[in-house]
Amino acid sequence: MSKRRSAALTEAQAVSLAQKLLRERLCHQKLPDRPVALDSQYKHLLELLRRTALHGESNSVLIVGPRGSGKTMLLGCVLRELMSLKDVQKNVLLVELNGLLQTDDKIALKEITRQLHLENVVGDKVFGSFAENLSFLLEALKKGDRSSSRPVLFVLDEFDLFAHHKNQTLLYNLLDVSQSAQTPVAVVGLTCRLDVLELLEKRVKSRFSHRQIHLFSSLSFGQYVDAVRSQLSLPPDFPDPTFSSEWNHSVTKLCEEKSIEEVLKRHFNGSKDFRSLHSLLFLAVSRASVSHATLREADLLEASRLISADSKANVLHGLSILELCLIIAMKHLNDTYDGEPFNFQMVHNEFKKFIQRKSHSIHKFEKPVVMKAFEHLLQLELVRPVDSGVCKVQREYQLMRLMLEHGQVMEALQRYPQCPTDVKQWALSAFA
């Protein structure tokens, strides 16, 4: 694209281009040039995999960290750098497995043979039974030795799910190959469970090298804000330099804003992981449009409001008065009986007492109508049966628990549009 044409980008085009770029960065988890604040882990992993790829050393390693802490991103960056070496690219075979997809060893084995392009694969069909497949694969792996055969990198995403397979056959065999002097393999497991080693059988555990890389976010708030700024900024090679400088300037200014700092602080205190930050920024970015090309303060505030909304409060807001009254009755039952489970009869009894004694605004409803309201609450899972599944008891005698906090009910009552006063007073009175 020539310089002259790119300068002629209209504002709409520039906005859409910027959106496209930022969207890809935020939701498609595009790899950054270099992982932030993970240098030592990066070096460690790169060195390990390089030794397997170049020197034929067999390794096994686990990358452990909470969700959204950048495990896949770290591995992706390492693999990208590794593959950029010329002799590695030709030499190494990569096998990627995911515990969510390969739900048992048979499927995983099929996937391995497919990804290794082994001889018994014709077209896209795999022949042979599980036992045949396994012995074939093992033979192929065992025949090789350190010097001559191509190293294989096994990446096991959601490693803890592989530990739930029967007998952990796949893990045992992979780690066994990595322990004996056969084909060089590197087994890299990604997991979010800290106790993942406790899930492994003894024989599997003894074959694992106990090398673990922990990813715990050690960001300070200053770094967090820097990350926000860099995530939102447009890159220097953006085709419209005036637009991008304007955009970047607005982002810098935005990050210095007092209210924005408060919002970010709140999110930082909630969780340090990048993925929740990404969803916040995504919401803010998606609000930018032609009418206001740069990112505004209001966008980010609105996005934060959307993210931190209490969803149960939203559900409570949409209930009818009758359903709300039932919830208040349940709250009273919870208060008087110390959180014991209740059934519909008790709730109805409590509600009837209210209607007879105190209410002026609410009519008397027939019992089946109240039952229908109660079942709607059950459907919304605001109340939950104590022993689920057993539906042998009549509907009105099934024991239930309320799935709401005292505070949530009171707040919903405050926010409820046109709530009758006597209902409010009933909710506030300690004695029903």
Partner 1 sequence: MTKPIRRRSSYEEDAFRCIRDNIPNGNIMSETPPCAGYPEDTLRSLAHRLPCREVQLKSLLSLMGQPDQYSYPSIFIYGHRATGKSHVVLSIMKDLELPHASVNCVECVSSGLLFHQVLSAFSGADAAALLPRCPSLSDFVRLYKQASSGSPAAQTRYIILDRAERMRDMDFGLLPALLRLQELVNDNVTVILLSEIVWEKFRPNTGCFEPLLFNFPDYSKAELVQILSQDHHPSYTPELYASYVNILLGVFFSVCRDLRELRHLAALNFSKFCEPLEKGEAKESDIHKLWKNIEPHLQRAMQTVYLREVSSMQWEQQQMDEKEATTLRGLSAHAHIELPYYSKFLLIAAYLASFNPARTDRRFFLKVHRSILISLLCVMSHVITNKQSLSLLQSHGKIRKTNFLKKHEKTSNHLLGPKPFPLDRLLAIFYSVVDSRVAPTASIFSQISSLVTLQLLSQVGHDDQLDSPKYKCAVSLDFILAISRTVGFDVVKYLYDFL
Helices (H) and strands (E) in the chain, counts: 22, 9
Task: Give Cα separations from 281 to 23, 30, 100, 228 (angstroms).
Answer: 10, 15, 28, 8
Q: Does 294 bind partner 1 (CB under 8 A)?
A: no
# chain residues binding partner 1, by CB under 8 A = 75
Applying CB under 8 A, the span of 135-143, 206-214, 216-224, 363-371 interacting with partner 1 comes to 363-371
CB of 73 to partner 1, least distance (A): 11
Say how far residue 302 (Cα) sits from the centre of its chain: 22
Please list every residue from 37 through 76 that binds partner 1, using CB under 8 A: 67, 72
Q: Does 387 bind partner 1 (CB under 8 A)?
A: no
The residue from 206, 220, 242, 394 that contacts partner 1 (CB under 8 A) is 394
Q: Does 83 bind partner 1 (CB under 8 A)?
A: no
Amino acid of residue 242: T
The residue from 54, 192, 197, 419 that contacts partner 1 (CB under 8 A) is 192
Q: Does 368 bind partner 1 (CB under 8 A)?
A: yes
Q: Does 386 bind partner 1 (CB under 8 A)?
A: no
Q: Does 393 bind partner 1 (CB under 8 A)?
A: yes
Applying CB under 8 A, the span of 41-49, 87-95, 232-240, 279-287 interacting with partner 1 comes to 279-287
**Comparison of 53 and 347: residue with beta carbon closer to partner 1:** 347
Indicate the length of the chain as a whole number. 432
Q: Cα(294)–Cα(285) distance, rounded to whole angstroms?
A: 9
Please list every residue from 310 through 329 that binds partner 1, using CB under 8 A: 311-312, 314-315, 317-322
Q: Does 121 bind partner 1 (CB under 8 A)?
A: no
Residue 420 is encoded by which pair of tokens?
A: 């009758």
Amino acid of residue 160: D
**Comparison of 223 and 349: residue with beta carbon closer to partner 1:** 349
Q: Cα(212)–Cα(165) distance, rounded to whole angstroms?
A: 22
Q: Cα(38)–Cα(342) distance, rounded to whole angstroms?
A: 52
Proportion of the chain in helix, strand, coil states, percent, rounded to 5? 55, 10, 35
Q: Does 381 bind partner 1 (CB under 8 A)?
A: yes
CB of 267 to partner 1, least distance (A): 13
Residue 128 is encoded by which pair of tokens?
A: 């042979």
Residue 31 is encoded by which pair of tokens?
A: 């790899």
Q: Does 380 bind partner 1 (CB under 8 A)?
A: yes
CB of 310 to partner 1, least distance (A): 9
**Comparison of 236 and 417: residue with beta carbon closer to partner 1:** 417
Asked whether the beta carbons of 343 and 398 are under 8 A apart, the reply is: yes
| x/- map, 203-242, partner 1, by CB under 8 A | ----------------------------------------
Q: Does 7 bind partner 1 (CB under 8 A)?
A: no
Q: Does 369 bind partner 1 (CB under 8 A)?
A: yes
**H helical segments located in 156-296:** 159-162, 169-179, 196-199, 202-207, 221-232, 241-256, 258-270, 274-286
| x/- map, 13-42, partner 1, by CB under 8 A | --xx--xx--xx--xxx-------------
Q: Cα(192)–Cα(158) distance, rounded to whole angstroms?
A: 8
Q: Does 359 bind partner 1 (CB under 8 A)?
A: no
CB of 343 to partner 1, least distance (A): 6
CB of 21 to partner 1, least distance (A): 9
Cross-strand pairs, 359: none
**Comparison of 72 and 179: residue with beta carbon closer to partner 1:** 72
Nearest one of 179, 214, 199 to 63, comparing CA atoms: 214
Please list every residue from 412 through 431 that binds partner 1, using CB under 8 A: 417-418
Cross-strand pairs, 186: 59, 153
Please list every residue from 248 through 277 that binds partner 1, using CB under 8 A: 275-276
Q: Cα(240)–Cα(219) distance, rounded to whole angstroms?
A: 33
Residue 196 is encoded by which pair of tokens?
A: 């993942």
**Comparison of 312 and 332: residue with beta carbon closer to partner 1:** 312
Applying CB under 8 A, the span of 165-173, 206-214, 247-255, 290-298 interacting with partner 1 comes to 290-298
Q: Cα(21)–Cα(26) distance, rounded to whole angstroms?
A: 9
Q: Does 127 bind partner 1 (CB under 8 A)?
A: no
Residue 314 is encoded by which pair of tokens?
A: 């939203």
Asked whether the beta carbons of 68 and 32 are under 8 A apart, the reply is: no
Q: Cα(184)–Cα(92) distance, rounded to whole angstroms?
A: 10
